[in-house]
Amino acid sequence: MDNMQIKIAAESNIGLRRNNNEDRFAICPSLAAAQWNGTCAETSLPDRTDGAMIVMADGMGDMNAGEVAADITIQTFIKYFSPGYMDPSVVESDDNGLQYLKVVSGTADRRIKQRVYEDPTTWGMGTTLVAAWIYDKKAHIAWCGDSRAYLYNPQMGLKQLTRDHLYIQELLDAGRIDALHAAMHPGRKRITRYLGDDRQNVRPDTTLLPLATGDTLMLCTDGLTELLDDNSIAQLLLQYDAKPDEACSALIKAAIEAGGNDNITVAILHVEKGGIENASRENTEHAPFFG
């Protein structure tokens, strides 16, 4: 079986309205080699290896020390996905991998709360999370909050893989509000799950995505999706297909031109070759395709 060839890139921008950037990210094209914190890479992923990782955190903009919570989250993932920390059994099954993402998310949550205990000036800080761990030609995805993961393929279009942990999303799911009123609802940005919430332990959701040749996996903070709709994102991913670094820059530029109201972070992984043939999308029905 051919190794999967990937290109991976990420970029972050403060935007036009914020005084500092509370978004944080890290990419690692080879966990076995601990190649963290680059912004662009191309690599080959043999089967049954530790794989590659993208992790992203959006420190809560209206909370004290949001960037500290985001930093703690990223550093926790780097630590627990480094050689010597992961038990080999973690990559023996998809369920093990998804469970490990939850465990590391929980560890980050506890570390944020411990920091607040040690330094009360950081009380109220929190962060969203979205992470994609790629091994065995599949993306193992975990998220908490409104940072998102998308799948793009030129033949199928754009698909949101995650469902926002927002109060307004709960109202939509329950049929208590329609999309038009949701867009104007005063509580539409209220996050119901995030790391550092002192009212509850973190409860990340997970999903599994088989990766086919030609697939593009995109992770982003809400600074992008608040300003660009799915069709606009899909058009730029098509224009810069197989060019993750250029696609990241183009998406951020478009969000800034649309207002740049928040910090904007985008990470993109493109499968060059060696993906799963006829990859099923049955387990990723969180949103319709757009194209």
Band of residue 181 on the pLDDT scale cut at 50, 70, 90: low
List, for residues 19-45, the tens digit of each pLDDT value: 899 999 999 999 988 888 678 888 888
Asked whether residue 178 is domain-assigned, the answer is no
- Is 256 inside a domain boundary? yes
Residue 180: predicted pLDDT = 63
pLDDT tens sequence across 11-20: 999 999 998 9
169, part of any domain: no
Domain annotation covers residue 170: no
User: What confidence score (pLDDT) does residue 291 get?
Assistant: 30
Name which residue leads in pLDDT, 169 or 161: 161
Asked whether residue 155 carries a pLDDT value surpassing 50, the answer given is yes
Query: pLDDT-derived band of residue 62, with 50, 70 and 90 as boundaries?
Result: low
Q: What is the pLDDT of residue 40?
A: 82
Least confident range from 79-83, 183-187, 209-213: namely 183-187
Would 13 be classed as within a structural domain? yes
Domain presence at residue 199: yes
- At residue 278 the predicted structure's pLDDT band, cuts being 50, 70 and 90, is confident
**pLDDT tens, position by position, 103-123:** 999 999 999 999 999 999 999
Share of the chain above pLDDT 70, in %: 88
Instruction: State the Cα–Cα distance between residues 183 and 168, nearest whole angstrom.
Output: 9
Total domains in the chain come to 1
Is-above-0.75 flag for pTM?
yes
Question: What CATH number corresponds to the domain at position 72?
Answer: 3.60.40.10
pLDDT averaged over every residue in the chain: 90
User: Does position 289 have pLDDT exceeding 80, yes or no?
Assistant: no
Which of 110, 143, 127 minimizes the C-alpha distance to 58? Answer: 127
Phi–psi pair at 259, nearest 5 degrees: 140, -30
Q: Kindly report, residue by residue over 212-256, the tens digit of the pLDDT.
A: 999 999 999 999 999 999 999 999 999 999 999 999 999 999 999
Is the model's pLDDT at 286 over the cut of 60?
no
Of 32 and 130, the structure prediction assigns the larger pLDDT to 130
Closest by CA position to 260, among listed 59, 98, 17? 17
Q: What is the DSSP string of 156-207?
A: TEEEE-S---BHHHHHHHTTSS-HHHHTT-TTTT-BS--BT-TTS----EEE
Residue at 177 is within a domain: no
Residue 111: count other Cβ atoms within 10 Å of its Cβ: 18
Report the range of poorest mean pLDDT among 5-9, 49-53, 122-126, 166-170.
Answer: 166-170
**Taking 50 as the threshold, does the pLDDT of residue 92 lie above it?**
yes
> Does residue 188 carry a pLDDT above 70?
no
Q: Model confidence at 171, in pLDDT bands (50, 70, 90)?
A: confident
Question: Which amino acid is located at 79 in the chain?
Answer: K
Q: Which positions ≥6 away from 120 have C-beta within 8 Å? A: none
- Structural domain of residue 248, as residue ranges? 4-164+191-290
Asked, for residue 183, whether it belongs to a domain, the answer is no
Helix ranges (DSSP H) in the chain:
66-80, 94-118, 167-173, 179-182, 222-225, 230-239, 244-257
Closest by Cα among 272, 289, 143, 151 to 206: 143
